[in-house]
Amino acid sequence: MIFARAESVCPVCLRVLPARKRSEPDGIYMDKTCPEHGDFSSLIWEGDLRSYLTWPVKNTAAEAPVDGKARDRGCPYDCGLCREHRTKGCCVLLELTRRCNLHCPVCFASAGAGAESDLSLAEIETQYDYLMAHGGPFNIQLSGGEPTVRDDLPAIIRLGREKGFPFFQLNTNGLRLAMEAGYAEELKAAGLNTVFLQFDGVTDAVFETLRGRPLLAEKEQAIVNCAAAGLGIVLVPVIAAGVNEDQVGAILRYGLEHMPAVRGIHFQPLSYFGRCALSRPDRPVTIPKMLRLLEDQTAGLLHASDFGGGGAENPYCSFHASYLRRSDGSLKPLKRRAEGGCCCVSSDDSRQSVASQWSGEAEEFALDGDLLDTSSLDTFLEHARLNTFAVSGMVFQDAWNLDLDRLRRCYICEMDSRRGMVPFCAYNLTDTEGRSLYRT
């Protein structure tokens, strides 16, 4: 049964096409027809129509981009941002380099270029200034390529801090953090808040498939070094059908065992763009599938019903839940916040920020039954820091399942020196031949 209309693109030529959302007993599909390249159908939700329509959402009012560009060819071709966009952004990725010290079979950024591709410090400063003039300060994600191959990474963070950006997240494979003594401390001293550590599984076989070599020992060392430096870590597993779906529960348990250094897990079901050695399956991992894997593999520790969709972005982009770890090791789901869903799991240690973030949860802590003196802010904050854990994920879009309504609400942008702020799923969109709309 067709129950909704949408707009998408042809995976072959990327022209905009009308699309239909169709409900079947085994899931929700998006169908579209290119006059030149034929019919395409993609599973977008592994559940029934009721579960799709009642997915918990907290949609916020649309917010115009600051100084948005006029419409020219229309979405998704006018990014940077155009006036039809419906948020002003929240997180901005700076692709500091296209170099990498790995050559993963799966890489949305198709990393592997030479040093000449690095942004200069002067270009980065110009990007910081652009962002400040277009709605900043934003949360900054230092990305690549592998950003730690740049020796001036601490200087880049310091510069951003001087410009007034309050939150810096490093997206990294963790190799340099593991290998170089004192490096985590150096980044922390420069102003880094948190490390998003690529962490696809708990066996080397998974890393060999997705990253091209065994890496578990390096990941563990990176966690040890970040913990010693006081840097919060979020584990970021890419989950691919047929590769590591069976490790979702083990990854979660690994994260919990490494609290409080590990603050959460941010799952990313594999999207089929950029360099991707795996072919797209008929049934890619969707939000309900991820939640079912989590529930099935954690023996009652958490439940699919704990999760909701994002509030800042389109709710079908993401899922999230926060937990309090009780003294017996069980997890108590915390109330969902209206603005939840941001990819940045803040480890901001400013007292005021943390206090306001958790002030609504005092009752929850009291319910834990622990002898917790919530009248003391310091005790309360320390308990929150040591015992809360976030589980979230984002299902990036590719040319098969792209929904322009989701894209128009995207709040994660890539900073591009020519175009400005380009929504992540537009920036990384590639056709069946690997051609990109924006990435040069």
CB of 76 to ligand SF4, least distance (A): 5
Residue (336 or 408) nearer to ligand SF4, CB: 408
175, with CB counted inside 10 A (0-12, 13-18, 19+), is buried
> What is the arrangement of strands in the sheet containing 27-34, beginning at the earlier edge strand?
2-9, 16-24, 27-34, 38-45
Sheet strands (E) in 151-261: 168-172, 194-198, 232-236, 238-239
Rounded to whole angstroms, the Cα distance separating 190 from 160 reads: 10
Q: Site for ligand SF4 (CB under 6 A): which residue of 7, 46, 78, 118?
A: 78
437 binds Zn ion (CB under 5 A): no
CB of 17 to Zn ion, least distance (A): 8
406 binds ligand SF4 (CB under 6 A): yes
Choices 105-113, 128-136, 184-192, 309-317 (CB under 6 A): range interacting with ligand SF4: 309-317
Instruction: Scan for tokens 């563990």, then name that residue.
Output: 220
Contacted by 407, from ligand SF4, Zn ion, none: CB < 5 to 8 Å by type: ligand SF4
Pairing of strands 91-95, 139-143: parallel
17 binds Zn ion (CB under 5 A): no
Sheet strands (E) in 110-261: 139-143, 168-172, 194-198, 232-236, 238-239
Phi and psi of 70, rounded to 5°?
-70, 155
Cis peptide before 35 (omega within 30 of 0): no
Choices 36-44, 178-186, 343-351, 369-377 (CB under 5 A): range interacting with Zn ion: 36-44
Cα-based angle 200, 409, 348 (whole degrees, multiple of 5): 55
Residue (81 or 177) nearer to ligand SF4, CB: 81
CB of 136 to ligand SF4, least distance (A): 17
121 binds Zn ion (CB under 5 A): no
CB of 400 to Zn ion, least distance (A): 12
Q: How far is CA 298 from CA 257, 265, 338, in A?
A: 13, 14, 26
394 binds ligand SF4 (CB under 6 A): yes
Rounded to whole angstroms, the Cα distance separating 181 from 10 reads: 48
x-or-dash pattern for ligand SF4, window 316-355, by CB under 6 A? -x--------------------------------------
Q: Site for ligand SF4 (CB under 6 A): which residue of 40, 168, 199, 396?
A: 396
Interface residues with ligand SF4 (CB under 6 A) are 75-76, 78-79, 81-82, 84-85, 313-314, 317, 394-397, 406-408, 410, 412, 423-426
Interface residues with Zn ion (CB under 5 A) are 10, 12-13, 34, 36-37
